[in-house]
Structure 1
Amino acid sequence: MKKDKPRVAIQGIKASFHEQAAFEYFGENIETVECDSFKQTFVALERDEADYLVMAIENSIAGSILPNYSLLLGYNFPVVGEVYLPIQLHLMALPGVKFEQIKNVTSHPMAIRQCGDFLDEFPHLKIVESSDTAACAKRIQDEQLTDTVAIANALAAKTYGLDIIERRIESNKKNYTRFLILTTHENVTKQTPNKASLCFQVSNQVGALAKVLNIFADLGVNMSKIQSMPVLGKRHEYNFYVDVEWEDNKQYDAAIKQVLKYTHNFNILGEYVRYEDESEKAPEVKPEKPVRKYISVKKLNK
């Protein structure tokens, strides 16, 4: 029986940045499955309590969220998409509350750090850390707190009936977070990918990693991300997580075949369509020649 709405597991509650990322990817006609941790989102997918999960993987200021790479490899669910979400943080309170009434500011520790310049101007305010930005907004509404403001996104203000009293208080206005979309192998749909997330190991020899990276460069495959993580319990051994992008799938196909010769424990974590920000796209120009048809690449997971 076909489901009316996709069930999407997120870390956090409704109106969190994870739900905002889910809306960006799927649209708002989804059923949000709230989870207390990133691991629980994978468990929900594993138990068929969700059809997809949305997981933050890196932030332009804070960097990679390292434990989430281990979840990617450990559960082996395919990555089917990505979203880059601008992180815009606002100060919000119950309707009618004036700034002069505020004594406490509550939010996730990362959001608080990202608003340090603004908060430094008001040293009398008590900072209260919490596990989730949206949960802070919800608490203000639930407990009708008139002396407390939350730092969260506009979706949280709308969802929990709060007024935004100061907009865009984040210190870096170009801050964004990248989210990955994962699903079960049964839910993977056919698409024409131009990006892939890979994981592999190389021998502990001089130039071993450089040899692999040069293959991508020589064949015109762009490496947009590389992250290393130690292999648990093994000295001098690392998993390398690499994101690559391409224009012609033949380049990617050829690169994978060559890379396999110089790596071990090679996994394709997912092949998907690279996220494009509609606001940054150039005006569409119709191609003079037909677009090359994509030839699917066989999965090479070991």
Structure 2
Amino acid sequence: MENRKPRVAIQGIRASFHEEAAFKFFGDDIEPVECSSFKQTFEKLQAKEADYVIMAIENSIAGSILPNYTLLMNYNFPVVGEVYLPIQLHLLAYPGVKFEDVKVVTSHPMALRQCLDFFEAYPHIQLVEGTDTAACAKRVRDEKLTDTVAIANTLAAKLYGLDVLERRIESNRTNYTRFLILTDHNDAEKIQANKASLCFQVGNHVGALAKVLNIFAGQELNMSKIQSMPVLGKRNEYNFYVDVEWEKQEQYDTAIRQILKYTQNFNILGEYLKNDGPPTP
């Protein structure tokens, strides 16, 4: 791998937000591996057809992407990094098309929902859902559509040669998505980790989860996220996904040793360097 670009599996096609996030984390010198689903990104990594997976895990408006937590557990690849990407949405048109020509706008359902305020002033424009922001932009280019525009990022405008009719049409200017980076080998020994993603279960009795959370507090670990999901087929049993951050490694090590006494099916999904946090618009 030293002599070639890292192959990064992305959900979607070139110029998707996943590719943009991959560029932000790895730099431009990568080989994106296009995948039609999140599951396929993991399959590419498992088959050695990719070196890394980059996967959205939460959005500041839509919340956690719950099926992706299941993929984390099912495939058990270590998380080795994270990146936050501001989601900036633009109206892209085939060259020469004017705004007054537009009858249809197409994009991923999430992108359409994030731009509804803009289109309230244009009730004659039909909103049509597509599979992917970049794929919708590519379709406008490939089919030379003159009455249809796409909502996508500037990466898509550049790659597919489209004009930007309107910039930043998203309703919430502080919208961002957090992505996780996974691989089939553990890079933890190469870095001084200060953040971890954990998964565990606790007993179904009073104070069971509180004991674990108090251990984090006692060791001065910052719990930056907690997400619960039902254990498939088991009533009143939940997996808890927790992200913790620390300043002193010994505090984290002590907390993990103590937590093992109060949890079942404890998993460290990954230890990595924390990102600076959500970006400012």
Tell me whether the two structures share a fold, i.e. TM-score over 0.5: yes
Helix, strand or coil at the partner of 1:193: coil
Partner of 1:226: 226
Cα distance in 2 between the residues matched to 1:155 and 1:232: 39
Aligned position for 1:237? 237
Letter matched to residue 163 of structure 2: D
Name the CA shift for 1:108/1:279 in 2 (closer, same or farther; >3 Å): closer
AA paired with 2:260? L
Q: Distance in 1 between matches of 2:189 and 2:53?
A: 15
Task: Report the AA paired with residue 57 of structure 1.
Answer: I
Offset from partner CA, 1:61-118 (integer Å, 9 cap, x none): 0000000000001100000000010000000101111001111100000000000100
| Aligned twin of 1:291 | none
> Is this contact kept in 1: 2:91–2:151, CA < 8 A?
yes
Match of 1:262 in 2: 262
Which residue is equivalent to 2:193? 193
Partner residue, 2:46: 46
How far the C-alpha of 1:278 sits from its partner, in A, is 10
Q: TM-score, normalised by structure 1?
A: 0.90
Q: Distance in 2 between matches of 1:186 and 1:197?
A: 14
Task: Give the aligned partner of residue 25 of structure 2.
Answer: 25
User: CA contact under 8 A between 1:45 and 1:53: conserved in structure 2?
Assistant: yes
Partner of 1:274: 274
Give, as a single letter, the amino acid of the residue that structure 2 aligns with 1:160.
Y
Task: Report how far residue 3 of structure 1 moved.
Answer: 3.9
Matching residue's letter, 1:222: N
In structure 1, runs of 5+ residues without a counterpart are 281-302
CA distance in 1, matches of 2:59, 2:277: 16
Say if 1:107 and 1:128, in contact at 8 Å, map to a contact too: yes
1:185 Cα deviation from its structure 2 partner: 2.1
**Native 8 Å contact 2:9 2:34 kept in 1:** yes
Matches within 5 A, 1:113-192: 113-185=113-185, 190-192=190-192
Q: In structure 2, how many angstroms separate the alpha carbons of the residues matched to 1:187 and 1:194?
A: 13
Please tell me whether residue 252 in structure 1 is matched to residue 233 in structure 2: no
Specify the alignment match of 1:286 in structure 2: none
The 3 A distance-change label for structure 1 pair 42 and 3 is: farther
The match for 2:12 is 12
Gapped regions of structure 2 (runs ≥ 5):
none
Task: Identify the residue that residue 96 of structure 1 maps to in structure 2.
Answer: 96
**Cα deviation, residue 37, structure 1:** 0.2
Distance 1:150 1:176, change over 3 A: same
**For residues 135 and 237 of structure 1, what CA distance do their matches in structure 2 show?**
39
| TM-fit CA distance, 1:189 | 5.6
SS in 1 for 2:84: strand
Letter in 1 for 2:33: V
3-state SS in 2 of match to 1:58: strand
Alpha-carbon separation, structure 2, partners of 1:20 and 1:169: 18
Distance 1:186 1:173, change over 3 A: closer
Same amino acid, percent of matched pairs: 73
Shift of residue 218, structure 1, vs aligned partner: 1.1
Question: What CA RMSD, in Å, does the superposition of the two structures yield over aligned residues?
Answer: 1.3
8 Å contact from structure 1 (residues 81, 273) kept in 2? yes
Determine if contact 1:216/1:255 at 8 Å carries over to the other structure.
yes
**Shift in Å, 1:2:** 3.5
Aligned partners of 2:63 and 2:57: how far apart in 1? 9
In terms of mean alpha carbon deviation, does 193-202 or 177-186 score higher?
A: 177-186
Distance of 1:185 and 1:82 partners within structure 2: 16
- Residue 74 (structure 1) aligned with residue 74 (structure 2): yes
Report the AA paired with residue 59 of structure 1: N
Which amino acid letter does the alignment assign opposite residue 170 of structure 1?
Answer: E
TM-score by length of 2: 0.97
Render the CA deviation track for 1:109-152: whole Å, top value 9, x for unaligned.
Answer: 00000001001111100111001000000001101111111000
User: How many residue pairs were aligned?
Assistant: 280
Match of 2:197, SS? strand
In structure 2, C-alpha distance between the alignment counterparts of 1:183 and 1:126, rounded to whole Å: 41
Determine the C-alpha separation between the residues in 1 that align with 2:240 and 2:71.
Answer: 14
Distance 1:74 1:220, change over 3 A: same
Tell me how far apart the structure 2 counterparts of residues 256 and 206 of structure 1 sit (CA, whole Å).
Answer: 21
What SS does structure 2 have at the residue aligned with 1:80?
Answer: strand
